[in-house]
Structure 1
Amino acid sequence: MTGDPRTGLTVTHRRYVRHGDAHYGGGLVDGAYVLGLFGDAATEACVRLDGDEGLFAAYSDVRFRAPVLAGDVLEATCTVTGVGRRSRQLSFEARIVCRADPARGPSAATVLAEPIVAVTATGTVVVPHKPA
């Protein structure tokens, strides 16, 4: 699955994490929230590559590296790392680029000088066969 010119395509989505998305104490957001963002980015990658939304087959090597909190702005990036006949290998990274700063006020937030890598993963999607 290497050597295909479609490898390297990168899609990035950004999303504000609403306070209603927090499920745990301290405004912590569950890991499934980020996996949903990865799925959205993968869908766009499939549309761009194949003109089809594709179907997610599997995530692998999912690593939760830092907590995601209500009030964060997340940047979820999907990069195509391999292209098969019907499968696409993808790598994902979610970075926190802004964070709420309640010590300065109820609506205060800070743009982070260095994004925090929150979640990384790899995955496989499949797309329909296209007749020749």
Structure 2
Amino acid sequence: MSEDPRVGLTVTHRRYVPYAHAHYGGDLVDGAYVLGLFGDVATEVCIRADGDEGLFASYDDVQFRAPVRAGDVLEASATVVAVGRRSRRLEFAARVVCRADPARGASAARVLAEPIVAVTAVGTVVVPPPATGAVPM
């Protein structure tokens, strides 16, 4: 039996983190901001894989590994690692790819030589049963 062709599907979004989202001292952004990004990439995964936005069912693991700050550019990605009848298991990563550099000026920023892995997670989404005659992907 061959592996489901949806396994390995990856969706990536990039987003600038505005200063309006800074929630703590040092321009730190709360973890819920990144979880919202994970929801967005999971939605696109479901649309691409199953033709439906799907619903987020659960997170099995969330690891906050490095701070996310206002002025960052984040890259959030989701990869399908398992496909059930109606469930899809996804691995998520959010990486800081650019960061504000206020020491050089109020609007200065830099592209990071190596992205910083800020948040990782594993989660499950569910989609409705396929409609008669529907073909995923």
Q: Does 2:78 correspond to 1:71?
A: no
* Partner residue in 2 for 1:33: 33
Count the aligned residue pairs. 131
| Alpha-carbon offset, residue 72 of structure 1 | 0.2
User: What does 1:83-98 align with in structure 2 at a 5 Å threshold?
Assistant: 83-98=83-98
Superposed CA offset, 1:86-111 (max 9, x none): 00000000000000000000000000
Q: Does 1:62 align with 2:62?
A: yes
Distance 2:59 2:108 in 1: 35
Deviant stretches of 4+, over 2 Å: none
Q: How does 1:1-132 map to 2 (within 5 A)?
A: 3-132=3-132
- The one-letter code of the counterpart of 1:49 is A
Taking structure 1 as the reference length, the TM-score comes to: 0.97
Deviation at 1:131, TM superposition (A): 4.4
Aligned residue for 1:53, secondary structure, equals coil
- Paired residue type of 1:21: H
How far apart are the structure 2 equivalents of 1:58 and 1:25?
Answer: 30
**Can you give the 5+ residue segments of structure 1 that lack an aligned partner in the other structure?**
none
AA of the residue aligned to 2:73: V
Q: Give the percent of matched residue pairs that are identical in Structure 1 and Structure 2.
A: 76
* Contiguous gaps of at least 5 residues in structure 2: 133-137
Q: What is the RMSD computed on CA atoms of the aligned residues?
A: 1.0
- Cα distance in 2 between the residues matched to 1:78 and 1:70: 22
What's the CA shift for 1:122? 0.3
In 2, Cα distance between equivalents of 1:130 and 1:9: 19
Mapped partners of 2:55, 2:12: distance in 1: 19
* CA deviation profile, 1:33-72 (whole Å, cap 9, x unmatched): 0000000000000000010000000012100000000000
